[in-house]
Chain A
Amino acid sequence: MRIEAATGIKPDYRSRSATFWLCTGYLALVTSAAILAMFIAPFGYNDQDLLQRLKPPSFLGGPSAHLLGTDQLGRDVFSRLLFSIQTSLAIAFVGTIIGAAVGTSLGFVAAHFGGIMDRAIIMLIDMQAALPFIILALAALAIFGNSFIVFMVIVGIHSWETYARLIRAAVLSANSSDYVTAMRIMGASPWRIYIRHVLPNVAGILIVQITLSFPAVILLESGLSFVGLGVQPPSTSLGLMIGSGRDLLTQAPWLALAPGLTIFLTCLSVSMLGDKLGDKLNVTLN
């Protein structure tokens, strides 16, 4: 109350915090749905019931057993959605971690060794920037074939070059800072300097970048699955659901709408939280 009176930013203050809780709440909901999918789902994701094909969601007059209706094989859309969230979030999560780990390591290597190593990594970064990632991913899928592992790795190295560039720059600037020089004069080992002094100072950048690339990884995964080059049936993912729902838009729009809205809200929440986190970290950095 007092803060609002003093600063006069009452509406802004309120709405910000509301957005924050909405995003956090939604993400908590989606994450627990993903983790608990096999316990919550009323049906198996491949259980077919040919008598119950293309039923609309129960709130649109469909059968009460199928909250979000059924698809062309009579499978429960709600159950499939839960398992799709599980697959898509798992891929996005592991993928983001792979990308962050690969990019961060390369950034550190480039900054630490400098010289030829640095030049080579910068060249790779430039090359990656010259090619849209999806083309590269598709080429890799064509060469190596589509297995789950290959797909995971391909989705994972997405945006490695952003991490590498950011971390390289941050490490270089931290390395040339007086406090790191002071530690070096003190006789601290490079490992100690990196872990105790450099890493905490680049962690903020890393976290914000992770929140930026997590939605991008979800979009990449669902895009590839949508065109049939990602997750393969009988597994299911959000992109795959939209892809198979696309052909039935006229009869059963809910097949594409449910997973599409899920992706949209997830990406929106993560990136909005990331924005806030970025603001917050910048404030304490200064």
Chain B
Amino acid sequence: MNLRYVLSRLLGGLLTLLLIVTLTFFALRLSGDPIQVLLPDTTPQEVVELYRERWGLDQPLAVQYVKYVVGIFHGDFGLAFSDGRSALQVVLERVPATAMLALAAIAIGVICGIGGGIVAALNRNSAIDRAVIAFAVFGYAVPNFFFGILLILLFTVKLGWLPSSGSGTIWHLIMPALTLGLWASTPLARITRASVLETLGQPYMVTVRAKGLPYYYGVFRHALPNAAIPIITILGLNFGTLIGGAVITETVFAWPGIGRLTVSAVANRELAIVQVIVLFVATIMVSINLVVDLLYTWIDPRISVVSGRQK
């Protein structure tokens, strides 16, 4: 039953990816001669001929489509304009920087968001609670690039503690990770607070207290696990926001990751690179959604039964 559920989710994810690949294919064909948009002008004629044949550009659209999909499974996306290297390679080179930034940001986001939300809920109506609420409301309205600029003004211009841009040392990571992490933590804080508050009011929590068990035992044993579902949903959704935010944040701090690559690729209309990035991000998002779905069933055994649609 559970395997069946996993398989159907997996199939759904693959279908989404295929749909995105298909859309990319048609968008590329719409935009003109794929040779021109996917290969640099300086490509030698024999390489152009090689690609023309590999993509089947003289053949019917259906054949081109199949070749395109097959090509993508072989990592064949076209070449980067700047140096004629494989577009996939150019993107993959940037992955570590973005992964490092994203991990640091998630760590900050989870600690501040979930931690802040729990602390706020456990101390309802206290000063801490109000601070967390204000933080969540303000966080929604501050553009993350502006927040980054405020950090630069404080830590670089005023205090002179941190470098304003670039990468290489741990000091370079601090401000981009803070910008992205705090920005991503605001919806987490709001949902966590609401979710924990709701479980705290449940009858089983009253029972825990009536039995004379320590309050925090009840909180950690009963309330938090039950509050986890909506938090995980938001965490999963947040990943998309995080990737979107990385585009901007990396530009603010000149962080050499995928986000900054995207901006320059779009500015130079390097479609080969852009399509790699789109598919890359889509794959990550689909995988994360899958993991989140599976986490649900792990956390809440009731869900697999409902979603399994067994007769």
Residues in A lying within 8 Å of B, measured CB to CB = 123, 126-127, 129-136, 138-139, 141-145, 215, 219, 222-223, 226-229, 239, 242-243, 245-246, 249-250, 253, 256-257, 260, 263-265, 267-268, 271-272
Tell me whether B289 and A130 are in contact (CB under 8 A): yes
Report whether A138 and B140 are in contact in the complex, using a CB–CB cutoff of 8 Å: no
- The reply to whether A141 and B262 form a contact with Cβ atoms under 8 Å apart is no
Beta-carbon contact of A139 and B267 below 8 Å: no
Total A-B contacts with CB atoms under 8 angstroms apart: 139
Residues of A near B192 (CB, < 8 A) are none
Q: Which of B247-262 contact A (CB under 8 A)?
A: 247-248, 251-252, 262
With A249-B149, A260-B149 known as contacts, the answer to whether A271 contacts B244 (CB < 8 A) is no
Which residues of chain A come closer than 8 Å to B131, judged between CB atoms? none
Q: How large is the interface on B (under 10, 10 to 19, 20 to 34, 35 or more residues)?
A: 35 or more
Contacts of A267 in B (CB 8 A): 140-143
Q: Hey, what's the 0/1 contact readout for B1-45 against A, CB within 8 Å counting as 1?
A: 000000000001001100110001001101100000000000000
Contacts of B265 in A (CB 8 A): 142
In the complex, what distance in Å separates the CA atom of A103 from the CA atom of B46? Answer: 47
B286 on the interface (CB 8 Å rule)?
Answer: yes
Q: Given A143-B271, A145-B269, A249–B153 Cβ distance below 8 Å?
A: yes
Whether A143 contacts B267 in the complex (CB less than 8 A), given A127-B20, A215-B140, comes out as: no
- Are B281 and A131 closer than 8 Å at their CB atoms? yes
Q: Which residues of B contact A (CB under 8 A)?
A: 12, 15-16, 19-20, 24, 27-28, 30-31, 137-138, 140-146, 149-150, 152-153, 156-157, 164, 240-241, 243-244, 247-248, 251-252, 262-263, 265-267, 269-271, 274-275, 277-278, 281-282, 285-286, 289
Q: A142-B266, A229-B266, A246-B149 are in contact. Are A131 and B143 (CB under 8 A)?
A: no
Extra inter-chain contacts (10) besides given A143-B30, A264-B143, A267-B142, CB under 8 Å: A132-B243, A134-B244, A138-B274, A139-B274, A139-B277, A222-B145, A223-B143, A260-B149, A265-B141, A267-B141
Question: Chain B residues with Cβ under 8 A from A253's Cβ?
Answer: 153, 157
Known contacts A242-B149, A271-B140, A131 near B240 by CB under 8 Å: yes
The chain B residue with its CB closest to the CB of A212 is B140
Contacts of B19 on A, CB cut-off 8 Å?
Answer: 123, 127
Closest A residue by C-beta to B269: A142
